[in-house]
Structure 1
């Protein structure tokens, strides 16, 4: 159970990142950007995210650019979501919200549609809604880890959600609490029926803890309606509690949160390098140690128990705080450097 929950809690990250990116896009309008400027920024930043995912992030996972294989991961889908948001930015905010809700609530109707059934356009369905491998160029394989739907709807909904941050604080806090709790209640009710909202039904197990794990174990690739209800519901409640908290105690989180892209890129490299150091210390130089670490064959004894994993996590988080704090000060000191806006 601790191992399951350790992995499960990380599921909140991707929906929250994409949802907050939509909120940030809306708030940039309130900081003085015109819709034309925001549209151009979203297009450029979206393309930049896609490029990063297929190059810099690909290298961070494999330490090998020679392989004719790549994965379309979280930066890919954030970038595509930004491009989609740029395409609908001139629509009324209520229409953008409706598009987001429709994509989130309705996409599970198409769970049984498979790319193989669609012949020559199967690759398009894979990009939109099915986690699978495609070959866009002869000899080059691309694994669609994050299909676009409903992620593009999550960013669109986040953009519309940004209107809450124009409200008076007390009213906003009330709505954050009500919306977050309502999403969790909706999750429980819909999940209990086992009729719609997730391709993987839950089942009663031999004991209550295992039944509970089955109940909250929802489909991520692509994220089901129920997956998004529970993760975004928790994220919105977290926003509520953080806004009510004393800001002085949140400074470390603020430092990390102010550099999300920089943090993401650095953290993969830092974790991968740490894994290599531990592997070298235990096994020496082996075929899996460097470019194929974590992908191909590994010894059965590879890895550590959870207490050690948590200690390593705390150490890496502390190092990331130091690095992000330095980068934040560097950005503040060099505001004139335009390229810093893309990190």
Structure 2
């Protein structure tokens, strides 16, 4: 029998920010599968991109770090309702569940290949592994966890200068833990693992979110919290500007003067996501802290709209990926491609032959359609989660 409970309180600024970045995230995934050559091209390559394409991709750089960071905040808040032992157990189990979802459910959505010849390790994977690590460290004092997070985010760029024998055990371990940037690991001639997210730099981001979660405890002064978020946001942005102008440590891709002003500006902003560089973390988390500070008491239809998606991020994430791929398959056949075009040589993704898809303007139209189609399913599930407490809800 289902037990209905009083509506559970949520922190609206977190739901607003998380909802906004989940919607922006869908833009990138829509571009990947519905734009001409989207999945196999690099929209941040200044030699081939356009300003519109570049910023379509660049704005989505804010999604993964904010998603991971807010996961850390949520872990802290979950810990205020559980014992240390209970939280540790929950994080390890949920982390293993997320790793399973990434490998089995999300890889299938990404590739549409039921034989799993290519397995993609992306953001859900790294959140899962980070939760397992945090579950093992949960007994350590909060300040120590925050300090470890700072060291990982601040220091991992130094490892980019280390060169190890290609494909050696040390090289594979280094890539998985610290430096993966689209690394391929061949299990055999027919199966490959595609690692986009190096584990420990992202774990550092989650640890920073976990440490920040303490300012959302009941009784914490709201004015003090807003002031802390604003000053921290400005400080991170200042660090980004200083590091970027110096053009030294903090990102493996220095900026340079380009053919005109807009491309030079694009070069300046073109920080590295794989793995998340110090500069990348500074600019993205700076924006996140600013939004958290300014939306704590936000009202209106737009805030309510974002909160719907932000309250059910995992549910929305899985659903939106499968909806995008369903649309991509329909477009594949509508544009005249047939069974012989489903598999493209040297392309792990099915239904993505050269020429399929649309111009960028149509991508935006499909993106808006996708997020609107998911509004009511997300709203219904959000309302259900707020008033029910079955154990399985904490895994969705």
TM-score with structure 1 length normalisation?
0.93
Distance 1:279 1:44 in 2: 38
Q: State which of 159, 162, 181 in structure 1 corresponds to 2:210.
A: 159
In structure 1, what is the equivalent of residue 69 of structure 2? 19
**Aligned partner of residue 198 in structure 1, secondary structure:** coil
Deviation digits for residues 62-98 of structure 1, max 9, x if unmatched? 2222133211111110001101111211111111111
In structure 2, what is the equivalent of residue 276 of structure 1? 329
Q: Which residues of 2 match residues 88-237 of structure 1 at below 5 A?
A: 88-116=137-165, 119-131=168-180, 132-135=183-186, 140-166=191-217, 167-237=220-290
For residue 332 of structure 1, report the CA deviation from its aligned partner: 4.7
* Contact 2:329–2:351, Cα closer than 8 Å, also in 1: no
In structure 1, what is the equivalent of residue 48 of structure 2? none
Distance 1:199 1:261 in 2: 31
* Contact 1:130–1:144, Cα closer than 8 Å, also in 2: no
Q: Which residues of 2 match residues 298-337 of structure 1 at below 5 A?
A: 298-300=353-355, 302-332=356-386, 335=388, 337=390
For residue 339 of structure 1, report the CA deviation from its aligned partner: 1.8
* Contact 1:60–1:269, Cα closer than 8 Å, also in 2: yes
For residue 146 of structure 1, report the CA deviation from its aligned partner: 0.7
**Aligned partner of residue 195 in structure 1, secondary structure:** coil
The runs of at least 4 aligned residues of structure 1 exceeding 6 Å deviation read 290-293
Q: Can you give the 5+ residue segments of structure 2 that lack an aligned partner in the other structure? A: 1-50
Deviation digits for residues 161-219 of structure 1, max 9, x if unmatched? 11222321111111111111111111011011111000011001122211110001011
Structure 1 residues 287 and 138, CA, compared in 2 at 3 Å: closer, same or farther?
closer
For residue 124 of structure 1, report the CA deviation from its aligned partner: 1.4
Q: Which residues of 2 match residues 241-280 of structure 1 at below 5 A?
A: 241-246=294-299, 249-280=302-333
Structure 1 residues 296 and 303, CA, compared in 2 at 3 Å: closer, same or farther?
closer
TM-score with structure 2 length normalisation?
0.81
For residue 20 of structure 1, report the CA deviation from its aligned partner: 0.3
For residue 115 of structure 1, report the CA deviation from its aligned partner: 4.9
Moved more, 311-320 or 122-131: 122-131
* Contact 1:276–1:290, Cα closer than 8 Å, also in 2: no
Cα root mean square deviation, aligned: 2.1
In structure 1, what is the equivalent of residue 103 of structure 2? 54
* Contact 2:113–2:350, Cα closer than 8 Å, also in 1: no
* Contact 2:226–2:293, Cα closer than 8 Å, also in 1: yes
- The structure, 1 or 2, with the larger RCO (C-alpha pairs under 8 Å, 6+ apart) is 2
Structure 1 residues 38 and 59, CA, compared in 2 at 3 Å: closer, same or farther?
same
